[in-house]
């Protein structure tokens, strides 16, 4: 089935053309490069995986209960609008909310694939080109995975959110080679990584947990790559150049925050305009979503600080968003946890499969003995 048949809103043209600026850079320096970058590149090669084999696609998914989480996580839960809804409408709310979230993950992963390919093209040093090439493959696998999940298990999709589209447009159309790092590796990937983490930790359903955990294992390396490259480069920039990057970060963070409101989901549930406005008030006032939005900046804020963009005006912007306290998060600890959770999922799955094989062998032997 064509994805366009799954979209709740017409997605427009089959392709979106972004006019990219910048210079393609070759380098004739083939020395060993930076040890930490090359170690990350080696890890990127070692950790490649096949989504058709690592993920158990035979697991069933209920489209109306994709994550298996309480209704209390829905912004309008307990409001007069929720109380007026019948069971069918509430099921549709669950479906559309989850479909919208995973659709934005899918579009973000395609954006990451294109941004990492642009990094290969434009970054001046070879070790960064090497790693970005492995990331391009990672992002292709992620887009493949989320597309299959939406097509085969959910059956409903949303076009790219206009705020995410705007940030991707700004990131890809900028001629400076560091902007795909800043827009994608730090902002879009950082926010996605935190969103994946929240959903991975609260879902009770095995298939989305596998997908989110395995994707996060890759994404943790990607954020580390962006930090490493930008930290080195931003030490060389003037105050004026750093201020331009800070302006980009501030605007991008507001776009990412506003993206989370997801107005289009409520507009496609058959609600009246007044009811849509009522839903948006609930979204803005939801204590759960306030905490969720705050957690989504747990990867971005410490990363921005780490790469050297930490002026008083940027700190004030984060204070205004209510996320400044996230600067104290340890990215190393979070990334280590992401690695361990994915590895433990593999261990548990493979141990279960091994036990099943042993049981089958024992049963076969017993049947032979009885004969």
Q: How far is CA 97 from CA 65, 66, 156, 200, 265, in A?
A: 10, 10, 11, 16, 7
CA dist 366 and 369 (Å) reads 5
Share of the chain above pLDDT 70, in %: 93
Q: Is the pLDDT of residue 59 over 80?
A: yes
Main-chain dihedrals φ then ψ at residue 236, nearest 5 degrees: -95, -10
Q: How far is CA 253 from CA 19, 43, 135, 209, 250, in A?
A: 23, 30, 23, 27, 5
Query: Which residues lie closer than 8 Å to 179 by C-beta, 6 or more apart?
Result: 171, 248
Backbone dihedral angles phi then psi of residue 297, each to the nearest 5 degrees: -95, 10
% of the chain beyond a pLDDT of 90: 54
Res 221: pLDDT = 86
Q: What is the pTM of this model?
A: 0.86
- pLDDT tier for residue 12 given thresholds of 50, 70 and 90: low
Joined tokens for residue 84: 């007026």
Tokens of 213: 């955990």
Q: What is the mean pLDDT of the chain?
A: 88
Distance of CA 323 to the CA centre of its chain: 19
- Please tell me the distance from the alpha carbon of residue 110 to that of residue 107, in angstroms, as a whole number: 5
List pLDDT tens digits, range 160-217: 998 889 888 988 888 888 998 898 888 888 888 888 998 999 999 999 999 999 999 9
Which contiguous run of DSSP H or E holds residue 30?
none
The structural domains of the chain, ordered by start, are: 5-9+35-330 (1.10.620.20)
Tell whether the torsion through CA atoms of 263, 70, 193 and 325 is positive or negative: positive
């Amino acid at each position: 089935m064509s994805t366009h048949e799954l979209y709740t809103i017409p997605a427009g043209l089959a392709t979106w053309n972004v006019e990219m600026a910048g210079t393609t850079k070759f380098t004739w320096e083939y020395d060993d490069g930076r040890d930490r970058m090359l170690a990350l590149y080696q890890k990127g090669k070692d950790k490649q995986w096949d989504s058709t084999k690592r993920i158990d696609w035979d697991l069933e998914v209920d489209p109306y209960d994709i994550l298996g989480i309480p209704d209390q996580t829905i912004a309008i839960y307990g409001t007069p609008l929720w109380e007026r809804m019948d069971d069918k409408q509430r099921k549709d709310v669950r479906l559309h909310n989850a479909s919208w979230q995973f659709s934005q993950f899918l579009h973000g992963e395609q954006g990451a694939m294109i941004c990492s390919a642009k990094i290969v093209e434009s970054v001046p040093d070879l070790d960064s080109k090497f790693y970005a090439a492995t990331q391009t493959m990672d992002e292709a696998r992620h887009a493949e995975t989320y597309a299959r999940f939406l097509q085969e298990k959910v059956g409903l999709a949303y076009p790219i959110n206009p705020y995410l589209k705007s940030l991707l447009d700004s990131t890809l159309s900028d001629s400076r080679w560091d902007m795909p790092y800043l827009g994608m590796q730090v902002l879009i990937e950082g926010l996605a990584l935190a969103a994946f983490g929240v959903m991975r930790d609260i879902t009770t359903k095995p298939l989305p947990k596998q997908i989110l955990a395995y994707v996060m294992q890759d994404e943790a390396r990607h954020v580390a790559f962006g930090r490493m490259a930008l930290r080195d480069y931003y030490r060389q920039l003037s105050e004026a150049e750093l201020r331009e990057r800070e302006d980009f970060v501030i605007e991008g963070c507001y776009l990412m925050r506003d993206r989370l409101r997801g107005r289009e989901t409520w507009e496609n549930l058959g609600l009246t305009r007044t009811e849509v406005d009522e839903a948006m008030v609930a979204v803005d006032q939801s204590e759960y979503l306030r905490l969720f939005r705050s957690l989504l900046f747990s990867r971005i804020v410490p990363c921005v600080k780490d790469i050297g963009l930490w002026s008083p005006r940027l700190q004030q912007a984060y204070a205004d968003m209510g996320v400044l306290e996230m600067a104290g998060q340890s990215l190393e600890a979070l990334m280590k946890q992401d690695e361990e959770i994915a590895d433990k999922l593999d261990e548990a799955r493979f141990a279960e499969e091994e036990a099943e094989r042993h049981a089958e062998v024992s049963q076969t032997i017993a049947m032979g003995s009885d004969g």
